[in-house]
Amino acid sequence: SHILTVSGLKAAIGDTPILRGIDLVVPPGEIHAVMGPNGSGKSTLSYVLAGRADYEVTGGSATYGEADLLEMEPEARAAAGIFLAFQAPVELPGVNNANFLRTALNAQRRARGQDEIDAVAFLKLAREAGKRLSMPDDMLKRAVNVGFSGGEKKRNEVLQMALLKPSLAILDETDSGLDVDALRIVAEGVRALRAPDFSALVITHHQRLLEILVPDRVHVMSKGRIIRSGDAQLAREIEREGYSALIQEAA
Ligand code: ADP
Ligand code: MG
Ligand code: MG
């Protein structure tokens, strides 16, 4: 079965409908990109799938494997192997980054009935994973995201993801603040996770990121709906021609 199946999903903030019927299927092992102009509902889709309380689901369904995703508590979603990275990662002053990452990993291991990993073994794991992302060792010693540059925050997210090995990652990429090198490291970091038991929904405006990632499918959102889906070629078409032609065509 599919890892993520979204059918006719509608959601509102207060009285304002934002998602107006989203249909989306992500099979195991596939990376899908979600693109679309500002305000089309991309972040809302990721928040609803994450279970954020301020969004009301007003119709449709979302399943994760066989489970009703919308009925799961946010913590249960994480424990079940869903990883969510938001546009603005939280800063946690006073919380050591290595301890934070180890706590997240151990919560997942406990939920799966596995032994916890000790600080020494964890540091070894984290340093190796960090090296692959060109992260300086001191980022593990610093407070979570405090004073990190945009690129460092994204790298830290990819590090967390590499350690947690989620079944489904939903990444709402920030559209600014990533220089070309940081973008490449993030894209290569996600690409390196490609595996039959890893799926991802990557929300992005960056054609450059998609050139490295090479998504299996690209979905374009406008006004709370997916107006077009295609392969990686669709992202190139958007880069060339913009969204307006697609939106007019769909109307
Ligand atoms: P995107 O990520 O594609 O830029 P969003 O999901 O952030 O789009 O926003 C979709 C629409 O929902 C926009 O019209 C935005 O103004 C509206 N919206 C987002 N958050 C709120 C909120 N807290 N209250 C009211 N409207 C909101
Ligand atoms: Mg936005
Ligand atoms: Mg957004």
pLDDT digits 0-9 by tens, 95-117: 999 999 999 899 888 888 999 99
Query: pLDDT above 90 covers what percent of the chain?
Result: 65
**Ligand nearest to the Cα of 42, by number:** 1
pLDDT-based confidence at residue 249 (cuts at 50, 70, 90): confident
Domain range summary for the chain, segments of one domain joined by +: 4-250
Largest interatomic CA distance in the chain = 57
Residue with the smallest CA separation from ligand 1 atom 5 is 41
pLDDT digits 0-9 by tens, 137-192: 889 999 999 998 878 888 888 899 999 999 999 998 765 667 787 788 888 989 99
Sign (positive/negative) of CA torsion 159, 162, 166, 168?
positive
- How is 161-190 classified by DSSP, letter by letter? HHHH--SEEEEE--SSS--HHHHHHHHHHH
**Alpha helices (H) along the chain:** 42-50, 74-79, 97-111, 119-132, 138-141, 150-164, 180-191, 207-213, 232-241, 244-250
Q: Are 92 and 103 in contact (CB under 8 A)?
A: no
pLDDT-based confidence at residue 120 (cuts at 50, 70, 90): very high
Residue given tokens 């991802």 in the structure block: 200
pLDDT digits 0-9 by tens, 195-220: 999 999 999 888 888 999 999 999 99
Q: Answer whether CATH 3.40.630.190 is correct for domain 4-250.
A: no
- Counting ligand 1 atoms within 8 A of each CB, the residue from 10, 34, 43 with the most, and so the one to mutate, is 43
